[in-house]
Amino acid sequence: MIRQTYQTLTAAVMIAAIAIGPIASACPFCESVQQTIRQQSETMDAVVIASSLDGELTRNLTTGVVKMKVEKVLKGGEHVKAGQTVDAIYFGKVEVGRRFLLSGVDPPNLQWSCLPVNERNEEYIVKATEIEDDPVARLRFFRQYLEDEDPLISRDAYDEFASTPYEEISKIGPDMDHDRLIKWVQEPEMGVDRKRLYLTMLGICGSEKDVPMLEEMLKNPTKSVSNGLDALIACYLTLSGEKGLPLINELYISNKKAQFSHTYAAIMALRFHGTEGNVIPRSALSESLHKILEREQLADMVIPDLAKWQDWSQIDRLTKLFKEVDPKDNWLRVPVINYMRACPLPEAAEALKEFEKIDPEAVRRAKAFFPAPVPVRPKADEESTTQINSPENPSSVAESTSGEPVLSVAKPTDHPATEPRLGTRYAAAMANQTPALSGIVAQQSDLTEASNPWEFACVLLVSLASLVIMVFLVLTGGPVVDPKPEN
């Protein structure tokens, strides 16, 4: 795994994602290969089951047109009727009576796409179209087909799960077959994509009794396990809770000899628990991410997470990183700048002024091309590390030298070493602040700064070109510079 390749690809993808817009959330560790039959049908004007009236001798070999008889109408009864003859283009093998799933668009002269189906496919498709429009009901139906012997059915069932948000998948926990999931995640020949899904499902329906098995898989990973390591770590932490973090820290976070791909998988698992999981408090997850900051080559990967989780305890450390980073490896500086832009504290504002003197180009680039991280919604009973005018901290609104109210943070000495640094979450607290304080915070944030559209277009084109070059190098085995070894 090459560090520079990951950084360039990640940057290009992130910028392209900003341009394209938000992507619908789905199963956090699953990769949906294609649209499901149900999803494709929703975009069509008509969907039918039809049988071929032509064989190889009677079909039009030049145009590929095959005459078909509509047997069942699954959608679009106003456009087509059972028993009607339609023309569809299909260049594969046909014989009289062969069944197809036809999907039509652009009425009244519908243009049909063809998918050959057998009797089991047809039965599955018809049942899938009859399910009520409810994610939980759909998942209960598709669950029974995940390992179907028919590849079309099992692939489609998997894609249904892969394209469903974790929150919805978690609702069918009682319906999951725990013992079968245990068997599937331990099968060496199980595909990586499916193993990721099954580990995600095991985290929902499993218990602490499964933790020893998962620990063994973590300590002695096989190749198939390593490829789905992020889902395995997430599953392990879901079932073991906060007490499982020390093992993950030891194996992948603090361990400088760990493979980059393994550490990256651990970061992804921690990120999942910080955004979608409800098992481990963000304060504990942040402590693990703090250890990544000690590894300069990886620090830029977790700084945005600390900002989104409103962990403002790392201002001094990040300022030090900014100053000490090698100018040739200045990818670290932009995330640090954005962390300070998102932070509402006066210490961050002072750090930004200092950064502008040290590297004005990095500050300009960060403000022009990247929005400041937006805090994620608070977890239940979870608070940030920032103290803002809470009943327990009435003196948190102070005055600056100019007489303006500013935000202050409780010093580390205000809390015993054994207690997490907690306070009122910034996003939730702002509704109760004075207009003057709100003005300071609004002034502090760069979220409303206008970006130069020409500069944005330029960086987008450069990023896409870099993405193409990197993919070409990876596929052709071209030279890529190795990263500096960590100390």
Query: How many structural domains is the chain composed of?
Result: 1
- Report, in angstroms and rounded to the nearest whole number, the Rg of the chain calculated over CA atoms: 27
Say what the pLDDT of residue 486 is: 54
Q: What are phi and psi of 115, to 5 degrees?
A: -135, 115
Question: In this structure, is the dihedral angle defined by the CA atoms of residues 276, 282, 284 and 289, taken in order, positive or negative?
Answer: positive
Query: pTM for this structure?
Result: 0.74
Cis peptide before 416 (omega within 30 of 0): no
51: β partners: 69, 99
User: Following DSSP, what letter does each residue of 286-316 receive, concatenated?
Assistant: HHHHHHHTTSTTTGGGTHHHHHHTT--TTHH
Say what the pLDDT of residue 389 is: 36
Say what the pLDDT of residue 259 is: 92
Instruction: Report how far residue 395's alpha carbon sits from residue 389's, in angstroms, rounded to the nearest whole number.
Output: 7
Amino acid at 102: L
Q: Is 440 exposed, middle or buried (0-12, 13-18, 19+ CB in 10 A)?
A: buried
Q: What are phi and psi of 407, to 5 degrees?
A: -90, 145
CA 115 to chain centroid, in Å, comes to 31
Residue 156 falls within a domain, yes or no? no
Say what the pLDDT of residue 461 is: 77
Residue 422 falls within a domain, yes or no? no
Residue 153 falls within a domain, yes or no? no
Instruction: Report how far residue 196's alpha carbon sits from residue 352's, in angstroms, rounded to the nearest whole number.
Output: 41
Instruction: Report how far residue 48's alpha carbon sits from residue 152's, in angstroms, rounded to the nearest whole number.
Output: 18
Residue 460 falls within a domain, yes or no? no
By the 8 A CB rule, do 235 and 200 touch? yes
Instruction: Report how far residue 163's alpha carbon sits from residue 275's, in angstroms, rounded to the nearest whole number.
Output: 18
CATH number at residue 44: 2.40.50.120
Query: 163: Cβ–Cβ under 8 A, 6 or more apart, which residues?
Result: 26, 27, 32, 36, 39
Token pair recorded at residue 280:
């481990």
By the 8 A CB rule, do 298 and 292 touch? yes
Beta-carbon count within 10 A of 438 CB: 13
DSSP state letter for 152: H
Task: For residue 169, give the nearest of 23, 27, 380 by alpha carbon.
Answer: 27
Q: What are phi and psi of 427, to 5 degrees?
A: -60, -40
Instruction: Report how far residue 211's alpha carbon sits from residue 43's, in angstroms, rounded to the nearest whole number.
Output: 43
Say what the pLDDT of residue 226 is: 84
Query: 161: Cβ–Cβ under 8 A, 6 or more apart, which residues?
Result: 27, 30, 139, 142, 143, 146, 169, 197
CA 202 to chain centroid, in Å, comes to 19
Residue 57 falls within a domain, yes or no? yes
Residue 82 falls within a domain, yes or no? yes
Instruction: Report how far residue 241's alpha carbon sits from residue 237's, in angstroms, rounded to the nearest whole number.
Output: 5
The SS3 assignment for 105 reads strand
Question: In this structure, is the dihedral angle defined by the CA atoms of residues 422, 423, 425 and 426, taken in order, positive or negative?
Answer: negative
Task: For residue 93, give the nearest of 72, 114, 73 by alpha carbon.
Answer: 114
**What does the pLDDT profile of the chain (487 residues) look like in tens digits?**
444 444 444 444 343 433 333 334 578 898 766 889 999 999 999 999 999 999 999 999 899 999 999 999 999 999 999 999 999 999 999 999 999 999 999 999 999 999 999 999 999 999 998 898 899 999 999 999 999 999 999 999 999 999 999 999 999 999 999 999 999 999 988 999 999 999 999 999 999 999 999 999 999 888 778 889 999 999 999 999 999 999 999 999 999 999 999 999 999 999 999 999 889 999 999 999 999 999 888 999 999 999 999 999 999 999 999 999 877 767 899 999 999 999 999 999 999 999 999 999 999 999 998 888 888 777 665 654 443 333 333 333 333 333 333 333 433 333 333 333 333 333 333 333 334 333 433 344 333 344 455 555 666 777 788 888 877 776 666 554 444 555 5
Say what the pLDDT of residue 54 is: 95
Residue 111 falls within a domain, yes or no? yes
Q: Is 261 exposed, middle or buried (0-12, 13-18, 19+ CB in 10 A)?
A: middle
Domain holding 99, by residue range, is: 37-122
Task: For residue 392, give the nearest of 371, 369, 422 by alpha carbon.
Answer: 422
Say what the pLDDT of residue 327 is: 72
105: β partners: 111
Task: For residue 285, give the nearest of 333, 239, 336, 234 by alpha carbon.
Answer: 234
Residue 473 falls within a domain, yes or no? no
